[in-house]
Amino acid sequence: MNFFKCGILLAVAVSQGLAAETLFSNWTFKVAPGSKTGALYVFSRGDVASGITEVTLKPTAHGITAEKSEQTSVGDSMTAVHDGIFRDSWAERRRTPSATAGELGLALPMYATDKDGSFQKPSGFFSVRSAERVVETPLDPPSFAEDLDSAMLYANTGLAYDSVSKCLWIARGAAGLTHYDISGGANHPNTTDYILNKKEAKLEKIPTGKNYSYKKSKNASILDIAVYQQNKDLWIATEKGLWIYDGKQIGVHKSLDTSKRVTGIWIGGEPTQFIAEVSTPEKDGVKGSLWRSTDGTKFQKIVFLDTTGKVQKKDIFANSGYTVLDIAFLGNKAYIAVSSTGGNESGYLLLDSAGIRAWETDADDGSQWLNGFERGVTDRDVPITSITTFPLTKKTMGLAVSTYGNGISVSADSGATWTPILNRAKLSNNLGSIRMVPSIIKEEGMQSLVSYKVGKPSKITIEVFSYDMRKVRTIVKDAPREADNSRSTYAKEDFWDGKDDHGRTCTMGIYYVRVKDNHGHIGWGKVMTMGGHY
In a domain, 70, yes or no: no
What is the predicted pLDDT for the residue at 17?
Answer: 33
What is the predicted pLDDT for the residue at 21?
Answer: 65
HSE-CB of 472 using CA atoms within 13 angstroms:
21
Query: Is the same domain home to 284 and 319?
Result: no
Domain's final residue, options 250, 281, 301: 301
Q: For residue 421, is pLDDT > 70?
A: yes
In a domain, 72, yes or no: no
Cα distances from 200 to residues 174, 203, 242, in angstroms, run 17, 9, 15
Identify which of 219, 194, 218 has the alpha carbon closest to the alpha carbon of residue 207. Answer: 194
Query: Is the same domain home to 447 and 416?
Result: no
Residues above pLDDT 70, as percent of the chain: 93
In a domain, 353, yes or no: yes
Q: Mean pLDDT, the chain, as a whole number? A: 89
In a domain, 47, yes or no: no
What is the predicted pLDDT for the residue at 364?
Answer: 66
The burial class, CB within 10 Å (0-12 / 13-18 / 19+), for 417 is middle
What is the predicted pLDDT for the residue at 10?
Answer: 28
CATH code of residue 456: 2.60.40.4070
What is the predicted pLDDT for the residue at 46?
Answer: 75
pTM for the full predicted model: 0.85
Least confident piece of the model among 44-53, 193-202, 262-271, 357-366? 357-366
Which amino acid is it at 119?
Answer: F
| C-beta atoms surrounding 392 within 10 Å | 22
Radius of gyration of the chain (CA): 24
HSE-CB of 338 using CA atoms within 13 angstroms:
27
Query: Is the same domain home to 261 and 366?
Result: no
Q: For residue 427, is pLDDT > 70?
A: yes
Contact in structure between 465 and 472 (CB atoms under 8 Å) = yes
Contact in structure between 70 and 135 (CB atoms under 8 Å) = no
Least confident piece of the model among 54-68, 203-217, 256-270, 508-522? 203-217
pLDDT tens digits for range 445-488: 788 889 899 989 999 999 999 999 999 999 999 999 988 766 78
Q: Average pLDDT in the 487-513 region? A: 91
Query: Is the same domain home to 271 and 351?
Result: no
What is the predicted pLDDT for the residue at 264?
Answer: 98
Helix (H, G, I), strand (E, B) or coil at 482: coil
In a domain, 1, yes or no: no
Query: Is the same domain home to 280 and 133?
Result: yes
Query: Is the same domain home to 309 and 415?
Result: yes
Query: Is the same domain home to 290 and 306?
Result: no
Of the two residues 387 and 286, the one the predictor is more confident about is: 387
- pLDDT category at 146 given cuts 50, 70, 90 is confident
Query: Is the same domain home to 203 and 281?
Result: yes
Provide the CA 372 distance to its chain's centre, in angstroms. Answer: 14
In a domain, 34, yes or no: yes
Least confident piece of the model among 26-30, 34-38, 242-246, 364-368? 364-368
In a domain, 77, yes or no: no
pLDDT tens digits for range 511-522: 999 999 999 999
Q: For residue 49, is pLDDT > 70?
A: yes
Q: For residue 365, is pLDDT > 80?
A: no
Q: Average pLDDT in the 501-508 region? A: 94
Provide the CA 178 distance to its chain's centre, in angstroms. Answer: 23
Query: Is the same domain home to 257 and 276?
Result: yes
Q: For residue 305, is pLDDT > 90?
A: yes
Query: Is the same domain home to 419 and 442?
Result: no
The burial class, CB within 10 Å (0-12 / 13-18 / 19+), for 181 is middle
What is the predicted pLDDT for the residue at 77?
Answer: 86
Domain with 323 in it: 22-42+302-423
What is the predicted pLDDT for the residue at 14?
Answer: 32
Domain's final residue, options 423, 443, 468: 423
Sign of CA dihedral 366, 367, 373, 375: positive
Measure the CA–CA gap between 340 and 338, rounded to whole angstroms: 7
In a domain, 51, yes or no: no
What is the predicted pLDDT for the residue at 533?
Answer: 52
CATH code of residue 214: 2.130.10.10
pLDDT tens digits for range 325-343: 999 999 999 999 999 886 6
Query: Is the same domain home to 403 and 290?
Result: no
Query: Is the same domain home to 207 and 253?
Result: yes
- pLDDT category at 104 given cuts 50, 70, 90 is very high
Count the domains in the chain. Answer: 3
Question: Phi/psi at 47 (nearest 5 deg)?
Answer: -70, -30
